[in-house]
Structure 1
């Protein structure tokens, strides 16, 4: 429980394995949606 887990990036308990890549993916997806929406708004 006290050790830093690199394998399972669970509920923010110091896991840098899958948690970091998943967070990066979500942030990238949100950024893509925001950029796409603003681009569509500027286009029309």
Structure 2
């Protein structure tokens, strides 16, 4: 029972961490997109 609760807690923490990283990457790319001139096509494939 205790091990299961610990596993669930770590899975939840990983989920929150994943959401934060996703939000940071979206924010980073939006800032990056604003700094890059729109006339230059994006050649970076992610």
TM range (shorter): 0.5 to 0.7
Task: Encode CA deviations 1:3-29: one digit per residue, 9 max, x unaligned.
Answer: 7x2122xxxxxx2x2111000000000
1:7 aligns with 2:4: no
Q: Give the TM-score of the pair, scaled to structure 1.
A: 0.65
Q: Give the TM-score of the pair, scaled to structure 2.
A: 0.63
Larger helix share, 1 or 2: 2
Count of matched residue positions in the alignment of Structure 1 and Structure 2? 34
Structure number with the bigger relative contact order (C-alpha 8 A, sep ≥ 6) is 1
Question: Can you give the 5+ residue segments of structure 2 that lack an aligned partner in the other structure?
Answer: 38-46
User: Deviation above 4 Å: which 4+ runs of structure 1?
Assistant: none
- Considering only CA atoms, is the larger Rg found in Structure 1 or Structure 2? 2
Root-mean-square deviation (CA, aligned residues, Å) is 1.4
